[in-house]
Structure 1
Amino acid sequence: MWPSRNRDPSVICLACGGEVPRSTAREYDKYGDRWDRENKAFEYLCKPCHNELCHHPRGGLEELLVELEAGDADQAAFLTGYLTTVEERYGPLEEES
């Protein structure tokens, strides 16, 4: 039997769950350091989901999520605590027009 010509493995988009070819996916590193590849397993996003992301720096975000025990509290309680903490530390949140 001949090997498959399609050597581009599929990956699953972590946002929408869609299956996309690895070559068209965007790497996602939850620690924000995609350049350090040693001993790292990446997650992937499809292009539409990647384009919907906020691409602003997120220094300290992971530490804040751990501090607020993200994933352990129910969603409403977590979001209330998150918004309160962010406003206390960084000032009021404003939406861009």
Structure 2
Amino acid sequence: MWPSRTNTETVTCLACGDEVTRSKAREYDKHGDRWDRDDKEFEHLCKSCHDELCHYPRDELEDVLVESRAGETSQTAFLSTYLETVEERYGTLEEES
């Protein structure tokens, strides 16, 4: 069984940076598998930031972000790697006329 949490535990929202009590936050798993809890530390979103998220499936997005080393490299390096990965998998984006 999971240990109980107290209402005074605070977490930081990864989107806006606000500190909120754990009871007023939502867990976020950057690997997209919040049910496999072994040896995992979750990030958190406050309820208002969570509500603003798109809740549609994002089947391959998390894999692409992890492969592109999101949060581990500079923004320039990440974007370059991300765009290369997306183009390799899905082709280039072209404007519709």
Give TM-score scaled by structure 1 length: 0.64
Mark the structure with the bigger radius of gyration. 1
Partner of 1:28: 28
Q: Could you tell me the percent identity over the aligned residues?
A: 65
Distance of aligned partners of 1:43 and 1:90 in 2 relative to their CA distance in 1, 3 Å threshold: same
For 2:41 and 2:81, locate their aligned partners in 1 and report how far apart those are by CA, in whole Å: 30
Counterpart AA for 2:42: F
- The residue type equivalent to 1:37 in the other structure is R
Q: Give the stretch that moved more between structures: 35-44 or 61-70.
A: 61-70
1:89 CA displacement: 3.7
In structure 2, distance between residues paired with 1:14 and 1:55: 17
1:29-48 map, 5 Å: 29-48=29-48
1:54 and 1:87 map into 2 onto residues whose CA distance is 23
Higher deviation after alignment, 10-19 or 53-62: 53-62
Take 1:52 and 1:92, find their aligned partners in 2: how far apart are those partners? 29
Equivalent pairs, count = 87
Residues 1:20 and 1:58: Cα distance change in structure 2 (over 3 Å)? same
Aligned pairs for 1:8-27 (under 5 A) are 8=7, 9-27=9-27
